[in-house]
Structure 1
Amino acid sequence: MKKWLIGICSVFLLFFWAGIPNASAASSKFIIINKSSNKLAYYENSQLKRVFKVGTGRSQSLTPEGKFRIVQKIVNRPYYTGNIPGGDPRNPLGNRWMGFNARGTSGSTYGIHGNNNPASIGGYVSSGCVRMYDNEVEWLFEQVPIHTAVIITSSGKSFDAIAKAYGYSTKPGGNPDYAGVTLKKGSQGEAVAQLQRKLTSSGFSPGGIDGIFGSATDRAVRAFQKSRGLTVDGIAGPATWSALNKSAPPQSGSSLMNSGLLKRGSKGAAVKELQQRLTAKGYSTRGADGIFGPNTEKAVKAFQKARGLAVDGLVGPATKRSLLK
């Protein structure tokens, strides 16, 4: 009898000890999904590490909101509804599945997963799950242990503010870090969008901020590499990221500050700097050509609305001061 009890206790302790690292790791990491922007934020040790574009439910109610936990992790999960095996290019679940326990389910109904239709990422397209680009969900899958918290909401607040509302503290300066991500022609996702922003703010236009590494982005990367004496291969690896992160944006004493009122139809260096600064702040002008056209006006208005300024599309002293901060 004693031997039997000792054996049971030993097995219990073994499972208990084995679960500690996993639970500990999960407690230092959490995910926030904001359906209003269709973005997913990954936090580690209270600091924002990466932000990804995602696809969510076709209607507001399909993707559940609240705080859940990752309870399943599966590589190449089959798509049972269509009898499509895991790993098949036709599989709409992609190659990674992280199921969370929403609405009393066990992790097999709702999940964060890849997808065989990259064009759907960013839209309201699913039956309730959260879609990601395959290459990005692969990275996230490796970071996230079972029991990791998943917060899903629809909010106009920042990710840090959402985290605070759910009882999580965050550290300042948690900017998404993509320096360790190697990108090349054909890559897609938020890391590519960040690359395009940095190229634009450095004066090398990728033709817009769409998160797709196409021919224009390839040309911009090569031009930047050539200007910095790097290997000109069109691949944004560690050396290119390092040079981009050191590349200074236009200074506050430049043509934008010294220009007059800028509006639709304006042209020149001040407009080009305006476009670079807007793009660097996340308001795409679809290029920095020095011509104040409809895309630049749209970006100006979006920036003005976000900063509580008069939304008139005119770049006067108040808008300039806010841009130059």
Structure 2
Amino acid sequence: MSPTTQMKSTQAMVNKPQLQLGSQGKAVLELEHLLTKLRIYRQPAKGIFNKAVESSVKLFQFRVFLPADGIVGPLTWQALYTEAPVNMPVLRLGSSGEAVATVQEVLRISKHYGGKIDGDFATLTEKAVRAFQKSFGMEADGIVDRETWTALSQIPRSYDPKTFLT
């Protein structure tokens, strides 16, 4: 995709309406089709943002490390179109915080990390990231960038819909 085409498609995503429970219309139909393509939504598309659509949105958001609030805003639209996490921080040795803890959790699930989930990107985490990257055929640089976040999002994680009830 050329930079101009990519910019136009990004602008189109940003211009999408916010959708949530109760929304109706063409944008909801489009949302249902995108979720169906990702094998997350398995109902007939009706253009009505009901509980089934909301549950599918929450699952998708969870998979791409977005807050699973069931509201489709600009970041969710962008993630739907790119089929990848968006707006994630680049993490490396010395990073810390919730995003690092998330990486550690996913690396534990994928059997690449056996340390504590403490949110500190120390040597053990870096080693695990390198091993994970190598297993995905990526450059094993130990840095969690967009490509690594995308690979991490492919690891199935436990999703408990009750966690996201509002």
TM-score when normalising by structure 2: 0.45
**Higher radius of gyration, 1 or 2:** 1
- Which structure's relative contact order is higher, taking Cα pairs within 8 Å and 6+ residues apart? 2
Higher strand share: 1
Higher helix share: 2
